Amino acid sequence: MIDIAWSEFVFVALLALILIGPKELPSVLRNIGRWVGKARAFAQDFSAQLDLDSERDDCAQEKTGPQDKDPPVDKKSQPFENTKHDTRSKH
């Protein structure tokens, strides 16, 4: 959460009261509350969708078994292995 001190909150409230005015302030605060509620609902839905997708991926991996993403290493893919042996034989 956002860490706001009481003095900062009072300053923002007084500034809003002066700039917006006492007649419009309740409707503006109501609209801000609606937007905050929509943003929280969107964030919660997004988080739930991410959790659901990760659970689906986990279930799919359990069904198919673990898959090795890295190919096996062979001697041909290690070009410096021969160089190491060549330098040892020269000394």
Determine the residue type at 52. L
Confidence (pLDDT) at 55: 80
**For 51-78, what is each residue's pLDDT tens digit?**
888 887 777 676 666 555 665 666 555 6
20, 28 Cβ separation under 8 angstroms: yes
| Domain spans, the chain | 22-63
Give the pair of three-digit tokens for residue 37: 């509620």
Buried b (16+ CB within 10 A) or exposed e, 14-38: eeeeeeeeeeeeeeeeeeeeeeeee
The structure's pTM equals 0.49
